[in-house]
Structure 1
Amino acid sequence: MPFAQIVVGPPGSGKTTYCHGLSQLFAATKRDCAIVNLDPANENIPYKCDIDISTLITLEDAIDAFGLGPNGGMIYCLEYLEKNIDWLLEQLDKIKDKYIIFDCPGQVELYTHNTAIKNIINILEKRDYRLCVVHLVDAHHCTDPSKYISVLLLSLQIMLQLGLPHVNVLSKVDLMESYGKLAFNLDFYTEVQDLHYLLEQLNTDKQTARYKKLNEALVDLIEDYNLVGFYTLCVEDKDSIINLVRVIDKANGYIYGGLEAANESIMLTASRVGGLGSLEDIKEVQERYLRNTWEEEERKNNQDHDQDFADVNNII
Structure 2
Amino acid sequence: MIIEEKKDNYLGKQCQLVIGPAGSGKSTYCRTIMSHCQSIKRSVHLVNLDPAAENFEYEPTIDIRDLITLDDVMEELDYGPNGGLVYCMEFLINNINWLEEELNNYEDDYLIFDCPGQIELYTHFPIMKSIVQTLQKYDYNVCCVYLLDSQFIEDTSKFFSGVLNAMSAMIQLEIPHINVLTKVDLLDKKLQRSRDFERYLEVDSSLLTEDINNRMRPRYQHLNEAIVQLIDEYNMVNFLPLDITDEESIAYVLAQVDNSIQYGEDLEVKEREDFTEVDDDDY
Q: Tell me the distance in 2 between the aligned counterparts of 1:45 and 1:145.
A: 32
Deviates more, 1:180-189 or 1:150-159: 180-189
Deviation at 1:63, TM superposition (A): 1.2
Q: Quickly say closer, same or farther: Cα 1:174–1:210, change in 2 above 3 A.
A: farther
Structure 1 residue 51 corresponds to structure 2 residue 34 = no
Match of 1:202 in 2: 212
Which residue of 3, 6, 30 maps to 2:17?
6
The one-letter amino acid of 1:32's match is S
Structure 1 residue 175 corresponds to structure 2 residue 171 = no
Q: How many residues align?
A: 271
Contact 1:143 1:183 in 2 (8 A): no
Structure 1 residue 102 corresponds to structure 2 residue 118 = no
The higher relative CO (CA closer than 8 Å, separation ≥ 6) is in: 2
Match of 2:129 in 1: 118
Structure 1 residue 218 corresponds to structure 2 residue 218 = no
Structure 1 residue 236 corresponds to structure 2 residue 232 = no
Q: Percent of pairs identical after alignment? A: 41
Match of 2:255 in 1: 246
Deviation at 1:79, TM superposition (A): 0.7
Per-residue Cα deviation, 1:109-132 (whole angstroms, up to 9, x for no partner):
100111111111112102111000
Q: Quickly say closer, same or farther: Cα 1:282–1:161, change in 2 above 3 A.
A: farther
Deviation at 1:281, TM superposition (A): 5.8
Q: Tell me the distance in 1 between the aligned counterparts of 2:32 and 2:120.
A: 26
Q: Tell me the distance in 2 between the aligned counterparts of 1:175 and 1:17.
A: 14
Match of 1:190 in 2: 201
TM (norm. structure 2) is 0.89
Contact 2:183 2:243 in 1 (8 A): yes
Structure with bigger helix share is 1
Match of 2:7 in 1: none
Segments of structure 1 that go 5 or more residues without pairing to the other structure are: 299-316
Structure 1 residue 127 corresponds to structure 2 residue 123 = no
The one-letter amino acid of 2:88's match is C
Per-residue Cα deviation, 1:193-235 (whole angstroms, up to 9, x for no partner):
3x224313211114x6541111111011111101111111012
Q: Tell me the distance in 1 between the aligned counterparts of 2:263 and 2:154.
A: 34
Q: Tell me the distance in 1 between the aligned counterparts of 2:236 and 2:98.
A: 35
Q: Tell me the distance in 2 between the aligned counterparts of 1:182 and 1:70.
A: 40
Contact 2:100 2:134 in 1 (8 A): no
Q: Tell me the distance in 2 between the aligned counterparts of 1:138 and 1:182.
A: 18
The one-letter amino acid of 1:200's match is E
Deviation at 1:282, TM superposition (A): 6.7
Deviation at 1:168, TM superposition (A): 0.2
Q: Tell me the distance in 2 between the aligned counterparts of 1:70 and 1:236.
A: 33
Per-residue Cα deviation, 1:236-288 (whole angstroms, up to 9, x for no partner):
211110011110001011123xx5xxxx6xx6xxx6xx523x5x76773xx7x
Q: Tell me the distance in 2 between the aligned counterparts of 1:28 and 1:48.
A: 17
Give 3-state SS (helix, strand or coil) of 1:254's partner: coil
Q: Tell me the distance in 1 between the aligned counterparts of 2:63 and 2:51.
A: 8
Deviating beyond 2 angstroms after TM superposition, the runs of 4 or more aligned structure 1 residues are: 180-184, 280-284
Larger CA Rg, structure 1 vs 2 = 1
Deviation at 1:151, TM superposition (A): 1.2
Question: After the TM superposition, which residues 256-295 of structure 1 pair with which residues of structure 2 at under 5 Å, given as runs?
Answer: 256=265, 274-276=270-272, 284=278
Contact 2:148 2:180 in 1 (8 A): yes
Contact 2:50 2:115 in 1 (8 A): yes
Match of 2:174 in 1: 163
Q: Tell me the distance in 2 between the aligned counterparts of 1:61 and 1:228.
A: 38
Which residue of 30, 34, 44 maps to 1:33?
44
Deviates more, 1:85-94 or 1:197-206: 197-206
TM (norm. structure 1) is 0.80
The one-letter amino acid of 1:229's match is N
Contact 1:10 1:106 in 2 (8 A): yes
